[in-house]
Amino acid sequence: MVLDLSRVLAGPWASQSLADLGATVIKVEQPGAGDDTRLWGPPYLSDDHGNRVGESGYFLAANRGKYSITVDLKTDEGKKIILELAKKADIVLENFKTGTLDRMGLGYSVLKEVKPDIILCSITGFGQTGPRAKQPAYDFMIQAMSGIMSVTGESDDRPGGSPMKIGIPLIDLITGVYSTSAILASVVRRERTGRGEHIDIAMLDVAVSLLANQGMNYLLTGQTPVRRGNRHPNIQPQRVYRCIDGQIILAVGNDGQFAKLCAALGKSELAVSEKFATNDARVRNLPELDVLLDELLATFNKAELLAELELLGVPSGPINTIPEVLNDPQVVHRQMQFELQDEHGVSIPQIRSPYQFSEASTRLNMRPPAMGEHTESVLREILGLNASRIQELRQNSVI
């Protein structure tokens, strides 16, 4: 069982992944307010007449498969409920600011007393230690601070040159993925050792780790990576190209693929030219290669060229809109989009997790919950509270 004290995106993304994988996730929300993202709209779930009937799209994207209870963690009775639930939990997930859980009397040392092998995963902007530990953070802020925005966007010498954030809250999402991995690794370790764990996941750490080849380019050369738009810093040709009727991308990864590209363009001689025969040469002579490829591709029909490149095995593709990718035959075949029903029978569209197993299956039959929908059932069935006690807690605004 996962006791999920998190809200917004990184934590809920992790707990949704765990729910998809079969975990029982109890989402704890503040009475009367709930997860901030319930109101991060429009858009909201609406009926066929356009009337709002549910939560925001933001909330619906990250809270499938969970039971929602409301508990006021600022009250003594609320803290007691959380500790009683922690006794029965395998994992506690939280993303309060550093030190908040300790001040509430619900920190790792306290949780270990009630459940010695508990796994606590704490997600913060900057981690549990360090000079920034107590600062709040959001995805956009971390994209900027981590250096990711410094290498994202068009270069300064081109129109529109400016640092640019990624079009989705990627740091939040990957933080959720790393948290899931760390939690599952800790579960395996606990099976072997019987010991719990306090996992310290920081969004800035996650973002720095994602610098990958760009970070290594700097470490090897001492040269600061710069924005290159869609042009890859190490492998060429890779960027957006314009055909007669639209744009495509090429993601040529080796010399053999470049030779096939040249053949498709009717310019096989480029593949044996000293200037372009190797990736090293293409990177060094990229300005000249860019001019040649721009001129050549501008003479081709997009669909016809992509079909030819697909036959030859040259990595390439269209730049799909969101509707186009969700209707792509491959995405449809993989059943990445599906629907759940809310309590009123209104369809809730969902995009599934990417897990595909040969022997197991993901659990995708529980819609995102209404705020506090399962408070009474969880308190009754898991903690054994009777109706009068639950009513008393409600009258005292604990739940």
Residue 342 pLDDT:
86
Domain boundary among 263, 285, 319: 319
Predicted model pTM = 0.92
Spatial separation of the C-alpha atoms in residues 381 and 388, rounded to whole Å: 14
User: Which domain covers residue 357, as residue numbers?
Assistant: 2-209+338-395
Domain boundary among 263, 289, 319: 319
Q: Closest by alpha carbon to 74, among 109, 120, 28, 39?
A: 28
State the catalytic residues. 172
Query: Please, are residues 173 and 17 in contact by the beta-carbon 8 Å criterion?
Result: no
Say if residue 250 is in the same domain as residue 290.
yes
Say if residue 107 is in the same domain as residue 251.
no
Say if residue 59 is in the same domain as residue 177.
yes
Beta strand pairing status for 66-70 and 25-29? Answer: parallel
Q: Helix, strand or coil for residue 53?
A: strand
In this structure, the chain runs to a length of 399
Say if residue 80 is in the same domain as residue 203.
yes
Q: Helix, strand or coil for residue 225?
A: coil
Q: Tens digit of pLDDT for each residue in 348-372? A: 999 999 999 999 999 999 999 999 9
What is the number of structural domains in the chain? Answer: 2
Tell me how many helices (H) and strands (E) the chain has. Answer: 17, 13
- Considering the domain boundaries, does residue 325 fall inside one? no
pLDDT at 345 over 90: no
- Considering the domain boundaries, does residue 231 fall inside one? no
φ/ψ (deg, to 5) at 86: -60, -35
Can you give the CATH number for the domain in which 138 is found? Answer: 3.40.50.10540
- Considering the domain boundaries, does residue 282 fall inside one? yes
Say if residue 305 is in the same domain as residue 355.
no
Q: Closest by alpha carbon to 311, among 260, 244, 271, 268?
A: 260
Spatial separation of the C-alpha atoms in residues 145 and 132, rounded to whole Å: 12
Domain boundary among 286, 319, 352: 319
If you ran DSSP here, which 8-state letter would residue 367 be given? P
Q: Tens digit of pLDDT for each residue in 231-264? A: 888 899 999 999 999 999 999 999 999 999 999 9
